[in-house]
Amino acid sequence: MERMEKFIDNLPPMDLMRSEKMTLVQLIIPVESAHRAISYLGELGLLQFRDLNAEKSPFQRTFVNQVKRCGEMSRKLRFFKDQISKAGLLSSLHPVVEPDVELEELEIQLAEHEHELIEMNSNSEKLRQTYNELLEFKIVLQKAGGFLVSSNNHAVDEERELSENVYSNDGYVETASLLEQEMRPADQSGLRFISGIICKSKALRFERMLFRATRGNMLFNHAPAGEEIMDPVSAEMVEKTVFVVFFSGEQAKTKILKICEAFGANCYPVPDDISKQRQITREVLSRLSELETTLDAGIRHRNKALTSVGYHLTHWMSMVRREKAVYDTLNMLNFDVTKKCLVGEGWCPIFAKAQIQEALQRATFDSNSQVGIIFHVMDAVESPPTYFRTNRFTNAYQEIVDAYGVARYQESNPAVYTVITFPFLFAVMFGDWGHGICLLLGALVLIARESRLSTQKLGSFMEMLFGGRYVLLLMSLFSIYCGLIYNEFFSVPFHIFGGSAYKCRDATCRDAQSAGLIKFRDPYPFGVDPSWRGSRSELPFLNSLKMKMSILLGVAQMNLGIILSYFNARFFRNSLDIRYQFVPQMIFLNSLFGYLSLLIIIKWCTGSQADLYHVMIYMFLSPTDDLGDNELFWGQRPLQIVLLLLALVAVPWMLFPKPFILKKLHSERFQGRTYGMLGTSEFDLDVEPDSARQHHEEFNFSEVFVHQMIHSIEFVLGAVSNTASYLRLWALSLAHSELSTVFYEKVLLLAWGYDNIVIRLVGLAVFAFATAFILLMMETLSAFLHALRLHWVEFQNKFYHD
């Protein structure tokens, strides 16, 4: 045991296995070099500052005015960005490299640009409003003039018909003359009209309101405008309707004008005289032409100004964000007593101290400060933050792990193993080397365009896909590997590694009712023999293979999780967790499911026909009974009894000793029986870290015992449920294989059986669509999520601390 411990201690440390060693540092920065020092440290990205002004509100901090100015500049830049997008222009994706301007100079430039743009927008809105009014006036003149001409012609025709009827009857000559004399003055003095234009969506309600307000004493004519007009409020093109309302009386006129105002209808005067209408129309057309020229010139000038802003927009936005981040960080620092220096504290990795000191020296030199920046290490009481160094390849795997929970400081990092186990478990469910090649091509395209895609703004789905490009790469490679083991290429087996070990018993071999295959030579060298495909034993054979393989992989990964808990306990020098948590957990898991894995391997190696279900069930129900034909090796029955007793002993071993030992250690510590050397850390490394946090708190035995009982019950039940959960590897692999087979046989082969080229093309298109969207997209997502669950729930809960 001692030799093993020495061997483990002498192993070289792994970069990803533990988080970087951190140290607490203090910076004393002269005021004149503070801004540049924080800017350089931010570009380095290896120092996490502590907030020394946590008790102050954001408005009470030293650099609150500079933060407000940066916020105001950010608002102006967002305004420019919105204006550029509304104008249909594109800001420069690759801005010219230019030196940073001072914040005050940039603030003046942005204010000038904003004032210029607001003024141009205001003038443009006024011109656009005038243009819209003239355009509406022109349309009303055209449409309403037609109404008036047609109504006048209709009145003349009616008058002519009435005169003919009256004068043809001599008995009514006098009466007709009197009626004519009464009607004509009324037409000339009482009938009026109002013309205007209204949105098409409001026309029907507008007409109803007019009818009710005038009690039907009006005539409403309308016609579509014929062209869309820009709404000045929403800047959208809307359809409008021209209307003419004929009425009589001053009171009706007042009501109609109020209703027009309420519905947002614009009223325009239309003269009765046709010559006047033509003259006004010519004047309106002349002014419209002038306004169009003016508007086009204004738009060109505005687009030119926006283009010049857009050329620098990306650089300015980056600069303002950086300045705001610098001042937010400066607000976390404190002034010293003399008010000439800023004092800051923060965490940094030990390896980064030289880089930080070099950045601080550069800041002192560039700011022409006479006093250097003081950098020294402090003793820390609280636990440091967790920091992992990652690269483009390992970053995605680290994010998968961190999505479950960030490890404690110096706790084992499962991302080391996730780099391999995650894509491998995915491939076990997705195994098909044809589909794997498709995924590989997609991953290679993303990696080949990495430099270009990293600078572009991608959508949410594409950004997620690009971030996981190296995960996709390994998933595709392992899918090809597992597909070769399953011998499936779009569900079709191939004789890649030689001939089959089986041959047909008779001519009806491939018939479902046949006796099947017989073995006539050595086994197929790699993967599943292609002759299993289409035979009567295919499904039972593959089910048995994949189910047993899932159990083996699950037990291996759970054992890895428990072993990581041992390395955690050893690293933190927590002997209680090793003796009363790691050891009984290993005994319990391997006494049951480790033994099952051993039986599976022995059965594979010996070709035994033993029923493993029967063996495991009667190991609990009748451990002393004779195994009979289910005996796989000599001494199996006494071994099962020993393993069962060990599993039963492991449960109280996990549950009882640890809480009582913690209680004893606590009572001895505070009764003066145990003394230790004074140190700089509050952690007593000989005791569990949980209890170390309670140095100044009362020890609650019942709470500790209940917590340990929950943890023990959870592990015992989880050992069963987690092993069963790994059977999803078998289920999804079977589902993927069967779906591939269905699409191949029932779509592609069925369509290929026809001599019609159209049917074949349709079948090929359906097969390609099903393969791309169901097997390559939905199945990939499904296998990814299940692999994620196996890592988060079944693997990482074995060693991550609560």
The helix (H) or strand (E) run that includes residue 251 is helix 250-262
Q: How many CB atoms lie within 10 A of CB 527?
A: 19
- The token duo for 395 is 């970053």
Q: Tell me the pLDDT tens digit for each residue of 675-693.
A: 554 444 333 434 444 433 4
Contacting residues for 224 by C-beta, under 8 A, at least 6 apart: 200, 239, 240, 241, 242
Contacting residues for 402 by C-beta, under 8 A, at least 6 apart: none
Domain count, the chain: 1
Any domain includes 683: no
Any domain includes 77: no
Query: HSE of 71 in the Cβ direction (CA atoms, 13 Å)?
Result: 8
- The token duo for 158 is 């009616």
Nearest to 373 by CA among 335, 343, 348, 329: 343
Tell me how long the chain is: 802
Contacting residues for 77 by C-beta, under 8 A, at least 6 apart: 110, 313, 316, 317, 320
Instruction: Tell me what the mean pLDDT of segment 377-400 comes to.
Output: 90
Cα distance between residue 46 and residue 355, in whole Å: 9
Any domain includes 524: yes
Contacting residues for 699 by C-beta, under 8 A, at least 6 apart: 662, 663, 666, 667, 691
pLDDT of 608 over the 70 cut: yes
Instruction: Tell me what the mean pLDDT of segment 635-645 comes to.
Output: 92
DSSP-assigned letters across all residues of 285-327: HHHHHHHHHHHHHHHHHHHHHHHHHHHHHHHHHHHHHHHHHHH
Sheet bearing 240-248, strands edge to edge:
219-224, 240-248, 191-199, 266-267
Residue 608 vs residue 37, higher pLDDT: 37
Instruction: Tell me what the mean pLDDT of segment 107-133 comes to.
Output: 90
Q: If you compute the radius of gyration of the chain from its CA atoms, what whole number of angstroms results? A: 43
Residue keyed to tokens 């290896």: 46
Contact 20, 330 (CB under 8 A): no
Q: Tell me the pLDDT tens digit for each residue of 292-340.
A: 899 899 899 999 999 889 888 888 999 999 999 999 999 999 987 777 8
Any domain includes 404: yes
Q: How many CB atoms lie within 10 A of CB 353?
A: 16
Instruction: Tell me what the mean pLDDT of segment 592-615 comes to.
Output: 90
Any domain includes 531: yes
φ, ψ at 797 (rounded to 5°) = -75, -5
Cα distance between residue 655 and residue 659, in whole Å: 8
Domain of 735 in residue numbering reads as 393-493+515-670+701-798
Cα distance between residue 41 and residue 553, in whole Å: 46
pLDDT (0 to 100) of residue 713:
93
Please count the helices (runs of H) and the strands (runs of E) in the chain.
Answer: 28, 13
Any domain includes 461: yes
Any domain includes 230: no
Give the rounded percent of residues in the chain with a pLDDT score beyond 70: 85
Q: Tell me the pLDDT tens digit for each residue of 523-562.
A: 888 888 888 777 777 888 888 899 999 999 999 999 999 9
Any domain includes 548: yes
Query: HSE of 705 in the Cβ direction (CA atoms, 13 Å)?
Result: 9
Residue 371's Cβ-count burial label (10 Å; 0-12, 13-18, 19+) is: middle
